[in-house]
Amino acid sequence: MGDSTQINTIAEIAQKITDENNRRQRRSEIIKALLTERQEVIVAMCGLADLDSKDKNSENVLESLKSFSQTLVDYTALGHFEIYERIIDGKERREKVKRVANRVYPAISSTTAHIVDFNDKYDGADGKDSLGDLSKDLSSIGEAMAVRIESEDELLRELSV
């Protein structure tokens, strides 16, 4: 019986190590996906801002706006549902990560609200009349993204340790 118990114990330890490695791998993949989404948001935002300032064809701007808004929402949702919600739900065990999250989450949450407001405002935009504030609103989103990126990077550094 002693050998069987030891084998079971070793198997349990091996499973815990495998589970931890899988969690780390998954977390690393999520962080990479978030950073990729972030890059896509920045590129789309710059493209939209450039198009808005040059293109008199509102259809091109509207198409670019729709694409940008979707990318922005995808990025925001990925961060929220794959990273922040896990911490908020108490699933994060590392104290340092929880401390950093508690410090930066209010800024991230504020930028999320700003992004949702932007999306709500431009969802269904259908003509040049819908685009009057776009340059100002893109500037505001750019500022919100700067705050979000700074806060997010601080948290991602701790998650990566």
Residue 21 or residue 51, greater confidence? 51
Fold of 2-160: Four Helix Bundle (Hemerythrin (Met), subunit A) (1.20.120)
The confidence score (pLDDT) of residue 2 equals 64
Confidence band, pLDDT 50/70/90 cuts, at residue 59: confident
Q: For the chain, how far is it from start to end, CA to CA, in angstroms?
A: 40
Q: What is the mean pLDDT of residues 19-43?
A: 89
Task: Write down the pTM of the prediction.
Answer: 0.84
Digit-coded pLDDT (tens) for 1-19:
567 788 878 877 777 777 6
The confidence score (pLDDT) of residue 149 equals 97
Q: What is the secondary structure of the chain as a DSSP string?
A: -HHHHHHHHHHHHHHHHHHHHHHHHHHHHHHHHHHHHHHHHHHHHHHHHHHHHH---HHHHHHHHHHHHHHHHHHHHHHIIIIIHHHHTT----HHHHHHHHHHHHHHHHHHHHHHHHHHHHTT--SGGGGTTHHHHHHHHHHHHHHHHHHHHHHHHHHH-
Closest C-alpha to 141, from 112, 100, 161: 112
The confidence score (pLDDT) of residue 5 equals 84
Digit-coded pLDDT (tens) for 140-157:
999 999 999 999 999 999
Digit-coded pLDDT (tens) for 65-85:
999 999 999 999 999 998 888
Domain ranges of the chain: 2-160
Digit-coded pLDDT (tens) for 81-134:
988 888 889 888 899 999 999 999 999 999 999 999 999 999 988 887 888 899
